[in-house]
Amino acid sequence: MSLTINHQTNDISATGSGSVTIDGSAIGGGGGAWNLISTTTVSSAVTSVDFTSISGYKTYALDIRLSFNYGSLNMRFGTNGSYDSGSNYEGATGVSLNSSGYKYGVIGIVYIRDLERATTTNFRRASIMADVLRLGSSSVSAATVNSAYYGNAGANCITLISETNKIVEGTVSLYGLSS
């Protein structure tokens, strides 16, 4: 359906095509698209899931669907396959995606913005926001990480690592948002 709005004549009309026009000008689409960069499938116990040589996007998303054999999941960033375990995550040594009470899995989306542009200053840091479900032995908890930051220069790789090296199965997909 096509929608046409003319504010000068207060005319609004609809036709069978698929566009939106305001005062004679076509309105563009809704922005970029999520492009699949890579998917990792875990079918036997591993210590981590790594994504290396990441570049080309301002915003990334990780679609995480992982099960653990009693383990926590942390996210770290780095350069050329060397991951930063220092206190560059707002004083922590990584971004925690589940707490000690929920050590059976994580399902959810993690958004990462400005990873490649991060510097050691507070003005340009990678920001991380996660909406995940944490799976416990008898409960599920929603977790939102709203204010995690990574403040080291020019990261181009991401790792998801279990504190007890017990990521058992699942998938993680990395997407980049085109402009």
At residue 29's C-alpha, the angle toward residues 24 and 34, to 5°, is: 175
pLDDT for 111: 86
pLDDT for 122: 45
pLDDT for 28: 52
Torsion of CA 137, 159, 146, 131, to 10 degrees: -50
d(CA 127, CA 146): 9
Given strand 34-42, what is the order of strands in its sheet?
34-42, 167-177, 59-68, 105-113, 126-135, 140-150
pLDDT for 52: 92
Q: Which domains are present in the chain? A: 1-30 (no CATH), 31-177 (2.60.120)
**Strand-pair partners of 133:** 107, 142
Instruction: Give the chain's residues under pLDDT 50.
Output: 1, 21, 23, 121-124
Residue 1 one-letter amino acid: M
For 9-41, write each residue's pLDDT tens digit: 555 555 655 555 454 555 555 568 899 999 999
